[in-house]
Homo-oligomer: A and B are copies of this chain.
Amino acid sequence: SLNVASKGNSAARVYAPYTVYKGKAALSVAPILPSFTKLDSGTFRVERQGVMLLTIWPSIGERKYDWERRQRFALSATEVGSLISMGPTTSSEFFHDPSMLSSNAGQVRKSLKIKAFSDGTGYFISLGVANNILKSNEQFVVPITTAEFTVMKTACSFVLPHLMGWDRVTNQSEPVDIVG
């Protein structure tokens, strides 16, 4: 796929979220790849880790959803590890402050909770966003089935090494390099 670069369309992007539509909201997950910096030595280093971007947006009628009111939560590699390790009865909760380390720290608080149904047939995914500046407090809950959660876990296991940049490490020295 290096040829993509040599063909001059390095900006080609593929948009392929996994989306489930439920009664009160829709939920999608999609990977965002890490970015790399080239050091003077010629080595590439991960500059920004990749994330698994989770988006929830509310239903506003039959088969209609309001994308303008979407809320997002970017799961880090370790948070993806937490999701992958969940069993049929466990729960996970993550807290993010999108303005952390800035002057707005603490003004927006996001929480994502994944909680197994009591009968073990699925999970509730709850995303809360409390914004002190806008005086808003949104709360979305999307029930997903075990089959849907298995798709997420399987796809997250596949994508995790890519979020970490490890797929690039393993691609870098083909046997043919030795010939060249």
Contact = CB atoms under 8 A, between A and B. Distances in A.
A130 interface: no
A66 interface: no
B44 A178 contact: yes
Interface stretch (A57-65, A135-143, A165-173): A165-173
A179 interface: yes
B164 A155 contact: yes
A85 B86 CA distance: 13
A101 interface: no
Given A44-B12, A154-B81, A174 B168 contact: yes
B12 A36 contact: no
Interface residues of A, number: 71
Nearest to A146: B85
A162 interface: yes
Interface string A1-23: 11111111111111110101000
Interface of A: 1-16, 18, 20, 30-31, 33-34, 36-39, 42-46, 77-82, 84-85, 145-151, 154-155, 157-162, 164-180
- Nearest 10 interchain pairs by C-beta: A16-B165, A82-B147, A5-B180, A81-B151, A81-B150, A85-B150, A14-B168, A10-B177, A162-B170, A44-B175
9 contacts: A3-B6, A16-B46, A16-B168, A36-B175, A37-B178, A38-B175, A78-B147, A82-B145, A162-B170
